[in-house]
Amino acid sequence: METLVETELCFPQLLNSSCVKPKLPQFETMMTYVILSTISVLTVFLNLLVIISISHFKQLHSPTNFLILSLAVSDFFVGLLTMLQTTLVEGCWFLGDLMCSLYHFVGYIITSTSVGAMILISIDRYVAICDPMHYSIRVTQKRVKVCVCLCWICSVIFQSLNLNDVLYEPGRYNSCFGECMYVINYIAGIVDVIFCFILPITVIVVLYMRVFVVAVSQARAMRSHIVTVTVQGSVKVTAKKSELKAARTLGIVVVVFLLCLCPYYCVALTGKDNLMNAYSAAFVICLYYFNACLNPLIYALFYPWFRKSVKFIVTLKILQPDSCEANIL
């Protein structure tokens, strides 16, 4: 009886089936709460600004920006998932088995769609830099919207097949009440790593290496004044500079995404996840979550249109009639 009194349970009313709440230092628990809460609020708020900006202002309705919009939507959901992650800080899950299954399911969908968005962004920049003459023909708003929709639909279908056991019987892998466990079989895990990491990373790296080589050669050409300085030539130079800047900015987004995602999949590939302690596992997961907060900050640093649109939103000018027609670019 003394052990039961001293042991703190997740659900005290369920003495025989409740998980034991792990004893964690109070300071570290509070710091984790503060960090996760800050990341989640910033992620939701900043990505909401990106979503409102691109959705509202007509000048921002371009194929590239629609891809950024898709990425911002997935990052917005990452922020919401981070809020749920705070419930696990004390080692107990209080939201039930169904919410636990949905939490993992949505998390996998978001990861898949984020990777898909990065591939689409890489293809967009590849065509814009390497084949600029046919960019407006090959990359249209309609095609981009179809690709984005297919990306989300395929992610839902793929992860539904991948996590069908978890969805069919929520909580089947939990050993006690207050636990939120999920187990993916070996074959499903290999398929997930191949299609959500190895193949996408290969495509992204190959495309951006090509973009980098062509972008460097174009930058040298402009610096050496190879382009004839005429009115028409000046427009072409400005357009090229704009595309190069977009390639650089989105390249930074891609690199940061890979740096934040690689640790998780490297652990999955090496199979050393059982050797990681709780803090290492939390760091790997939070690193991916933090990436969703970084993307809007990168846009704010390199995209003047984002800074202008944020001013419109914060000052409530967006509520004025015809604000969608405002000059943002």
Q: Give the contacts of 267 (CB within 8 A, at least 6 positions apart).
A: 273, 276, 284
pLDDT surpassing 70 at residue 313: yes
CATH architecture label of 48-325:
Up-down Bundle (1.20)
Q: How much is the mean pLDDT over the chain?
A: 78
Residue 150 scores a pLDDT above 90: yes
- The closest alpha carbon to 68, from 47, 42, 41, belongs to 47
- Interval 230-255: pLDDT, tens: 444 444 444 456 666 666 777 787 78
- Domain extents for the chain? 48-325
What's the pLDDT score for residue 220? 67
* 15 contacts: CB under 8 Å, gap ≥ 6: 4, 9
Query: How many CB atoms within 10 Å of residue 242?
Result: 12
Tokens found for residue 84: 């749920």
DSSP secondary-structure letter at 16?
A: T
Residue 104 CA to residue 52 CA, distance in Å, equals 27
Which residues make Cβ contacts (< 8 Å) with residue 289, sequence separation at least 6?
39, 40, 43, 78, 81, 82, 85
Query: Which one is predicted more confidently, 123 or 284?
Result: 123
Look up residue 192 and give its amino acid: D
| Residue 43 vs residues 36, 50, 74, 105: alpha-carbon distances, Å | 10, 11, 11, 20
- Average pLDDT value for residue range 153-179: 81
For residue 89, name the pLDDT band (cuts at 50, 70, 90). low
Residue type, 1: M
Q: Quote the CA–CA distance of 254 and 199 in Å, as a whole number.
A: 15
Q: How many CB atoms sit inside 10 A of residue 77's CB?
A: 19
CA 82 to CA 175: how far, in whole Å? 24
pLDDT above 80: residue 143: yes
- The C-alpha atoms of residue 273 and residue 196 are separated, in whole angstroms, by 18
